[in-house]
Structure 1
């Protein structure tokens, strides 16, 4: 995608949604960290349902340790891989208490040192909680970047590096949200809804998906 088209691509997404936000519910950097870690291979809706009551009482690493692994499992047992996730969340809480004074660090390397926290999770926390211009590439963003020609790459890191290179100001802060929401609701995996896509003319995907047949005469 040409430089001018990339700017226009983001401009249109921003016009449709001037203040994009994560759909995960969170109250502080710690609850965000937990929510993002739990969202791996799960939907934001599913995570929000599981954490609604959890975050009413547990919003610090110390309180998470008080709850314990068994107590956490009771809250998140509807989420995929909940046993492993619970183990990681408790282990991460212990490290945050022991090494970081119970505070979520504003540092990628420190975040990635926590159990269950990879580059994608660290990027989301840095962007959403601390305002860093990071782009966390998930399956939606990977698909949109390759399908449209915005930032093609063979793996998520290649796509992230390309997006970091081509995404212009003033769109860098919100790029992660615009792309993930676009992939989640319009540029869907099985059948992209090209007929209502605001950037269809800029996208290299062919053939464009036609609108569904109108059954009402």
Structure 2
């Protein structure tokens, strides 16, 4: 796994953010102190198992995917082994996950394509990744970041929600939010921004009842829903903070 981010090209803002450059840098500075080395919560052992786990996680929880793949990845941690396992047996491993039949079909198909088109290796570019069955832009971004150290921003439901709630990067679609977020996130914080934002949305700025009293950016937040102006004490948390 990568230890440091790859270089990226300079970006310019393409919309007017209500946050100043100083505010944005301070927001991500605090996230970096709170979780210096944030980690994704999907269990995996290599780029292929990460790709499969992310593909399975659509409309499912990370915990649910991890329970299903714990045994699956013991017998099928490469495209060749997954293809040999077959769609029917794969379904038995992932039947507790939503949409498991269609996901099993896609995992077998992407395994076959990896073997025939990419010599059994997971490609590193978004353009190649999205050619795989069941792999969209979000999945590709996660794999690029976590497997290959390429700074990207995969917009899931948590990021889509807080981007709008906090007025950070309002948008109706994940692609719109992604482009706006990439325009405002300080370059040197981009590599970990994906996980910081997801964890903030999952454990603090929750969908039904945001816990503003626990928020380390409460004084900077511009959400009309904000209930607290005092930031929580800035202490380092474990990479994953599970309530």
Counterpart position of 1:6? 24
Greater helix share, structure number? 1
Contact 1:42 1:80 in 2 (8 A): yes
Cα distance in 2, alignment partners of residues 146 and 2 from structure 1: 17
**TM-score of the superposed pair, with normalisation by structure 1:** 0.95
Q: Give 3-state SS (helix, strand or coil) of 2:191's partner.
A: coil
Considering Cα pairs closer than 8 Å and 6+ residues apart, tell me whether 1 or 2 has the greater RCO: 2
Deviation at 1:209, TM superposition (A): 3.7
Counterpart position of 2:125? 107
* Pick aligned residue for 2:95 from 77, 82, 101: 77
Cα distance in 2, alignment partners of residues 96 and 160 from structure 1: 27
**TM-score of the superposed pair, with normalisation by structure 2:** 0.85
Stretch of structure 1 that moved more, 163-172 or 126-135: 163-172
Query: Are residues 1:167 and 2:185 paired?
Result: yes
Q: Give 3-state SS (helix, strand or coil) of 1:93's partner.
A: helix
- Structure 1 runs of 4+ aligned residues shifted over 3 Å read none
Cα distance in 1, alignment partners of residues 25 and 69 from structure 2: 37
Describe the superposition over 1:147-175 as per-residue Cα deviations: whole angstroms up to 9, x where unpaired. Answer: 11221222111110011111113211000
Counterpart position of 1:136? 154
Counterpart position of 1:127? 145
Cα distance in 2, alignment partners of residues 86 and 209 from structure 1: 44
Gaps of 5+ in 2: 1-18, 229-243
Describe the superposition over 1:50-72 as per-residue Cα deviations: whole angstroms up to 9, x where unpaired. Answer: 00011112110000001100111
Q: Give 3-state SS (helix, strand or coil) of 2:141's partner.
A: helix
Counterpart position of 2:174? 156
Deviation at 1:33, TM superposition (A): 0.1
Q: Give 3-state SS (helix, strand or coil) of 1:145's partner.
A: helix
Q: Give 3-state SS (helix, strand or coil) of 2:22's partner.
A: helix
Deviation at 1:204, TM superposition (A): 1.2
Counterpart mapping for 1:187-198 below 5 A: 187-198=205-216
Query: Are residues 1:96 and 2:111 paired?
Result: no
Deviation at 1:184, TM superposition (A): 0.5
Query: Are residues 1:146 and 2:170 paired?
Result: no
Stretch of structure 1 that moved more, 46-55 or 143-152: 143-152
Cα distance in 1, alignment partners of residues 220 and 120 from structure 2: 46
**How many residue pairs end up in the alignment?**
210
Contact 1:152 1:159 in 2 (8 A): yes
Query: Are residues 1:48 and 2:66 paired?
Result: yes
